[in-house]
Amino acid sequence: MTAEVAGRTGRSRWFWAGLMFASFGAIAALRITDAIGKSTGFILLACTMLLIIPLTRAGLAHQRTTGRLSPAVVRYTRRFTVASLGYMLGLGIAITLSQRMELSGAGAFAIALLPVLPIFAMIWTMARYLIEEDDEFLRHRATMASLFGLGLVLAAGSFWGFLETFGVVPHIDAWWTFPVWAIGMGIAQCWMGWRDRAGAES
């Protein structure tokens, strides 16, 4: 079966994304209400993260049908999927270890690296995409999206930092920088994609 056929007959990326976020919400609700323990919660979260595989496949099939799929996009998506799964695994191990033992010194440094190394891999993946993408328009869009994400991180981080200094808001861990950057990048890509569709040939 070709990817085009799979894209037409398989479930859409929105279905898989919705299922993934609904699962995250359900697991969070079960944890908040103490219906499940920490270990069960992590196992369910890990299982839910596997939904990223069909989500990725559906996303690639969609991009193929809209003519946005380049070899660089395929490599980027595969690398990012592997890094995301590695992040989930590293994060789970790091949280579990931090809850079960007193961390300090070199041990804490090593355990902190578990979720961070996959994040480094994600950043490297983004850099490789910008290097490997031959389509200058797609490269331009990815650059603009990452710049928007960076702008969001700098603006939100600076504002929150001063609010925290003045005691208005609670402390937020610095690892939020990467998710905020990724959210900003996603917002910009969605916006530019919407603009593309609005200007597409009838």
Partner 1 sequence: MLDGLARPGRGRIVKNRLKVLRAERDWSQQDLAQRLEVSRQSVNAIETGRYDPSLPLAFRIAALFDMPIEAIFTPD
Interface with partner 1 (CB under 8 A), residue total 24
Q: Is 98 in the site for partner 1 (CB under 8 A)?
A: no
Written as six digits, the tokens of 36 are 């499940």
For partner 1, give the closer residue by CB, 42 or 148. Answer: 148
Query: DSSP of 59-96, one letter per residue?
Result: HHHHHHHTT---HHHHHHHHHHHHHHHHHHHHHHHHHH
Min. distance of Cβ 13 from partner 1 in angstroms?
A: 17
Question: Pick from 144, 128, 33, 37: which is nearest to 75 by CA?
Answer: 128
Q: Is 154 in the site for partner 1 (CB under 8 A)?
A: no
Burial 176-196 (b: 16+ CB within 10 A, else e): ebbebbbebbeebbeeeeeee
Question: Which one of residues 8, 38, 78, 195 is an interface residue with partner 1 (CB under 8 A)?
Answer: 195
Which bin fits 134, alpha (ψ -120 to 50), beta or left (φ > 0)?
Answer: alpha
Question: Which one of residues 52, 94, 126, 145 is an interface residue with partner 1 (CB under 8 A)?
Answer: 145
Q: Is 68 in the site for partner 1 (CB under 8 A)?
A: yes
Q: Is 136 in the site for partner 1 (CB under 8 A)?
A: yes
Which stretches of the chain bind partner 1, using CB under 8 A? 66-68, 70, 134-138, 140-141, 144-145, 147-148, 187-188, 191-192, 195-196, 199-201
